[in-house]
Amino acid sequence: MLRTLVISFTCAVFSAAAGAATPADTVTALHAVLAENMKNGPKLGCSGRIGKLAPAVDADFDLPFLAQRVIRRQWKDLPEDQRKKFLETFRELVIGTYAAQFKKYNGESFTTLETQDLADGTKLVHAKLDIGKNEFVSFDYVMHEVDGNWRIVNVVADGVSDLALRSTQYDRAFKAGGFDGLMKLLNAQIQGNKDDC
């Protein structure tokens, strides 16, 4: 399940709230919250994990940028109220996905690896999740700078781009059912997270 997918807990929350100095710091802060949720998953419950994740996702991801990129073909034609509704729903989906997928702990550990400069000025932070028995999930985080803070704009898990995957799904849903069809898909995915959470 972890393959479908991004310090102490006190330090992680401070980093997420205050902005991290480097791209790797942002990734490490996110990982710390995910690890804390996994270690305390049953005690926190779904709502508790969501409560821990929401400020981290808001601080560590550039959600407005992601919302535009994930439906780039349609974004420019959406009225402002639909843009706002999509962003709010997309945010709920991202937080709920992490809450559902990182809810149990079996000794897993995250490691933030090297940072790579990309040609367009973004950064690529390599990381891995050790899931035991010499098995790992690789994560590559594409980052860009926003107001002096490095934010995540794509997560590639074991070579699969979350942005590309969602873009394909959402484009298909929009073409089939317009904005209402797109929202129906997102709400179904949110409900699926709740069921798994």
Position 14 pLDDT exceeds 80 = no
Q: Which residue has the higher pLDDT, 19 or 149?
A: 149
Asked if pLDDT for residue 112 goes beyond 90, the answer is yes
pLDDT of res. 37: 96
Write the pLDDT tens digit of every residue in 42-101: 999 999 999 999 999 999 999 999 999 999 889 999 999 999 999 999 999 999 999 999
Mean pLDDT of the region 118-145: 94
Give the structural domain span for 55.
Answer: 2-196
Q: What is the pLDDT of residue 52?
A: 95
Give the Cβ contact number of residue 114 at 10 Å: 9
Q: In what order do the strands lie in the sheet with 109-117?
A: 109-117, 123-132, 135-146, 149-157, 160-161
pLDDT for 133 equals 87
pLDDT for res 5: 39
pLDDT score at 6: 37
Split at pLDDT 50, 70, 90, the class of 107 is very high
**Is 18 a residue whose pLDDT tops 90?**
no
CATH number for the domain spanning 181: value is 3.10.450.710
Q: How confident is the model at residue 21 (pLDDT cuts 50, 70, 90)?
A: confident
Q: What is the 3-state secondary structure (H, E, C) of the chain?
A: CHHHCCCCHHHHHHHHHHCCCCHHHHHHHHHHHHHHHHHCHHHHHHHHHHHHHHHHHHHHECHHHHHHHHCHHHHCCCCHHHHHHHHHHHHHHHHHHHHHHCCCCCCCEEEEEEEEECCCCCEEEEEEEEEECCEEEEEEEEEEEECCEEEEEEEEECCEEHHHHHHHHHHHHHHHHHHHHHHHHHHHHHHHHHHHC
Q: Is the pLDDT of residue 104 over 80?
A: yes
Average pLDDT over residues 107-113: 95
pLDDT digits (tens, 9 = 90+) for 140-193: 999 999 999 999 999 999 999 999 999 999 999 999 999 999 999 999 999 999
Average pLDDT over residues 31-41: 95
- Tell me, what's the pLDDT at 3? 40
Structural domain count of the chain: 1
The token pair that represents 149 in the structure block? 């803070």
